[in-house]
Homo-oligomer: A and B are copies of this chain.
Amino acid sequence: MVITPEDKKKTAYHESGHAIIGSVLPGCDPVHKVTVIPRGRALGVTWAMPEQDRYSLYRDEMLAQIAMLFGGRAAEELFIGNISTGASNDFERATQIAREMVTRYGMSDVMGPMVYGDNEGEVFLGRSITTHKNLSDATLQKVDLEIRRIIDEQYALARRILEENRDKVEAMTKALLEWETIDADQIGDIMAGRPPRPPKPVSMPSQPPSDGGTRGGAEPSPSPAESA
Contact = CB atoms under 8 A, between A and B. Distances in A.
A10 B56 CA distance: 10
Contact of A114 (B57, B86, B98): B98
Interface residues on A, range: 35 or more
Interface stretch (A128-136, A185-193, A199-207): A128-136
Given A56-B228, A136-B137, A143-B136, A94 B82 contact: no
Given A52-B2, A114-B98, A104 B129 contact: no
A106 interface: yes
Interface stretch (A119-127, A161-169, A175-183): A119-127
Contacts of A82: 58-60
B88 A148 contact: no
B113 A91 contact: yes
Contact of A155 (B83, B94, B112): B112
Interface in A105-162: 105-107, 112-115, 117-120, 123-130, 132-141, 143-144, 147-148, 151-152, 155
A24 to B, nearest CB: 19
B73 A92 contact: no
Interface of A: 1-4, 7, 10, 38, 43, 52-60, 62, 70, 73, 82-88, 91-92, 94-95, 98-99, 104-107, 112-115, 117-120, 123-130, 132-141, 143-144, 147-148, 151-152, 155, 218, 228
